[in-house]
Structure 1
Amino acid sequence: MEYRRITSIEDPLFVQMHDLMKEVFPPEEVLEFELWKEPLEDPGIRVFVAVHNDEVVGATEYRYYADWNIAMTDFTIIGRPGLSLGRFLARNREKDLQELAKENGKVLFGMFAEIYDPYQLEDHEFGGVKPMNPFVRREVLSHLGYKRLDLSYVHPSWKNDGEAVKGLDFCFMPTDDNVSEISAALVAEFLTTYYSVLTNKPQEWVQMIEEIKGKETINLLPL
């Protein structure tokens, strides 16, 4: 198995990856093919695929923010069972991020992720790929060390249509397991930066950000 970075929509592996995304994610979670051009060319956005026998069988996208010394996992795709893809992607991602933090003279503080809460919404089939089942993924991410932020979370649709996407928790995996809260200012600044590419924000999201700004810290709760 190879862990290969994609930096262009012209890469044949990206075509495979985008097709895989459309198979497992709901439409509002998938950025249009042509709109991937700039993100892939952005050195701060790291898109890697797991290649098995010349086929893309998994993928992950993440970012490292040097100023905050945190990372964000945009998505992880397990396209086929029985290949230990979850561990393969997680270990390679962690190694890459720790190297980036080391170059920044630090030890990674932790990593954000949006995680589906199937106890809120149960209508995500994820292409019938069993490892992508939201119940399974939630438990796996809990095992990795993710904790959910104590807030009601929505995010803007990646269709940029002004709709609020619900049914997810905003989570954080601290490198230090003893961390039980996180700066609210960091959360507000991060989410504002992360979604700056979308111009059409839903009112629910704007209100959520204002509520976060009114806090000093946000508790990290069990996932």
Structure 2
Amino acid sequence: MEYVRITSIEDPLFVKMHELMGNVFPPEEVLEFDLWKEPLEDPSIRVFVAVNGDEVVGATEYRYYPDWNIGMTDFTIIGRPGLSLGRFLAQNRQKDLNELAKENGKVLFGMFAEIYDPYKSMEHEFGGVKPMDPFVRREVLSHLGYRRLNFQYVHPSWKNDGEAVSGLDFCFMPTDDTLESIPAKLVVDFLTTYYSVLSNKPQAWLQMIEELKSKENIELLPL
């Protein structure tokens, strides 16, 4: 199995990856095909696929922010069971992020991720792919070291229609697992930067950001 980076929508592997995304994720979580052109060409956005033979069987997108020395996992897709894809993608992603932090003269501080809470919503089927089941994914991410940030989270729909998407927790995986909180300013700065590409922000998201600005630190809770 190969871990291959994609940097263009012209790459045949991207066509396969986008089709896989559409089969697995709900529509509001999938950016339109043509809108991927600039993100893929952005050197700070890292999109990799797991290629088994000539088939794209998994994918992950993530970013490294040198100013904050943190990563963000945008998504992880396991398209087929029985290939140890979760471990394959997680290990290669972590190795890549550690190298990027090392080039930045630092040890990675940690990584953000949005994680579905199936105990709040049972709506997500994820294409019937059992390894993508929200209960399974949540437990796996907990094993990896992710912890829930202590606030009510919503995010703007990637359809850019001004709708707020709920049913997720915003989480952080610290490199130092004894860490009990992180600065609220880091969360605010990150979220406002991360969603700057979407012009139509829902009121619920704007209110959430304002509430976070009034805090000093945000507690890390068990996932």
| Bin for the TM-score computed over the shorter chain | over 0.9
Offset at residue 139 of structure 1 (A): 0.2
Q: Which residue of 2 aligns with 1:148?
A: 148
Distance 1:41 1:3 in 2: 18
User: The residue matched to 1:169 in structure 2 has which SS?
Assistant: strand
User: The residue matched to 2:137 in structure 1 has which SS?
Assistant: helix
Q: TM-score, structure 1 length as denominator?
A: 1.00
Distance 2:193 2:123 in 1: 30
Q: Which residue of 2 aligns with 1:117?
A: 117
Which residue identity does 1:101 align to in structure 2?
A: A
Q: Please show how residues 23-102 of structure 1 align to structure 2 within 5 Å.
A: 23-102=23-102
* Aligned structure 1 segments of 4 or more residues deviating by more than 6 angstroms: none
Is the aligned partner of 1:196 residue 2:196? yes
Which residue identity does 2:31 align to in structure 1?
A: L
Offset at residue 53 of structure 1 (A): 1.0
Q: TM-score, structure 2 length as denominator?
A: 1.00
* 1:130-161 Cα deviation digits (max 9, x unpaired): 00000000000000000000000000000000
Offset at residue 188 of structure 1 (A): 0.3
User: The residue matched to 2:105 in structure 1 has which SS?
Assistant: coil
Distance 2:182 2:13 in 1: 37
User: The residue matched to 1:119 in structure 2 has which SS?
Assistant: coil
Which residue identity does 2:67 align to in structure 1?
A: D
Query: Which consecutive residues of structure 2, in runs of 5 or more, have no partner in the other structure?
Result: none
Which residue identity does 2:121 align to in structure 1?
A: L
Offset at residue 15 of structure 1 (A): 0.3
Distance 1:176 1:93 in 2: 18
Offset at residue 61 of structure 1 (A): 0.1
Distance 2:87 2:175 in 1: 17
Which residue identity does 2:50 align to in structure 1?
A: A
Distance 1:151 1:120 in 2: 15
Distance 1:50 1:221 in 2: 32
Offset at residue 54 of structure 1 (A): 1.0
Which residue identity does 1:74 align to in structure 2?
A: D
The alignment of Structure 1 onto Structure 2 pairs a total of residues equal to 223
Which residue identity does 1:59 align to in structure 2?
A: A
Distance 2:82 2:113 in 1: 24
Percent identity at matched positions?
83
Which residue identity does 2:74 align to in structure 1?
A: D
Which residue identity does 1:68 align to in structure 2?
A: W
Offset at residue 56 of structure 1 (A): 0.2
* 1:50-102 Cα deviation digits (max 9, x unpaired): 00011000000000000000000000000000000000000000000000000
Distance 1:166 1:73 in 2: 18
Offset at residue 204 of structure 1 (A): 0.1
